[in-house]
Amino acid sequence: MYKEIGIETQVSKMSVVSRSTTKMSSLFPLDNVDFSFTITIHTIIESDCPKPYLDGRIAGSHAMNEPKRNTFPDLDEHSIDPDPINQFRIWFDDAVKARVPQMDAMVLATAASDGRPSARVVLLKSVDERGFVFYTNYNSRKGREIGSNPKAALVFLWPEMSRQIRIEGTVARVSPDESDTYFATRPRDGQLSSLVSTQSEPIGSREELDRRFNELTQQREGKPIDRPSHWGGFRVQPETIEFWQSRFARLNDRVLYTRHEKNTWQITRLQP
């Protein structure tokens, strides 16, 4: 007797579909058992995904295709902008034109005073010659870690463009006026949530959080909401900024800006 078992793989890019029926005993020898199963495999064409193993293992990096060849000019340390903030704006504009999803998302890495690291994704809200600004609860884990160890790293990854930007520097709070100005632009629900949530602290249930939110919404109906003192902006003041762009055979371009005295920048090419 044969038992038909349907197994289907799901991948991001699908094209040709093939099916086959195989005796289970040929793959998994079992005494006195003889049955088959049907595997439906969507063949990936020009996919960046590693091909999955059918036994549950995860394909290693050796199974991945080479990164996409980008269509942008070469990253040349002799022709890029001498100011890394200007160079960042150029690349960010490219990401906007390319319609990169959530191009303002950046990984923020911090560390506690004992060196224990943590990372999360936050949103870039502004950038100028002073640095890169994001907003959060000052009493959150990241806020506490920055308070005890005011250094951080940022990473922008835009795989659609085969580009990455890494930033390292010191962190300081933005002025209260800056935080007030930004807070006033937030949707009202976002303003309310900054009052309701004691970020990074445990809570008994989602229902408890929703109840707090609904109660506060009713209490503040028709009233302006001021920025709470525990919520505001941080600015990462860059000491180094590295621009990365993929090339063939993983001979990727890496150009590093290092800040020196009087806000001058040294430009260095790094090996991939």
Catalytic residue among 116, 206, 250, 254: 250
Q: Residue holding tokens 């922008």?
A: 156
Task: For residues 136 and 236, give the distance between their C-alpha atoms in angstroms, rounded to a whole number.
Answer: 13
Catalytic residue status for 186: no
Query: Would you give the DSSP letter of residue 53?
Result: P
Task: For residues 190 and 180, give the distance between their C-alpha atoms in angstroms, rounded to a whole number.
Answer: 14
Residues 74-105, buried b or exposed e (16+ Cβ, 10 A)? ebeeeebeeebbebbeebbeebeeeebeebee
Q: Residue holding tokens 């991945």?
A: 64
Q: What share of the chain is helix, strand, coil (3-state, %, to 5)?
A: 25, 30, 45
Beta-strand relationship, 6-8 and 36-42: parallel
Catalogue the active-site residues: 250
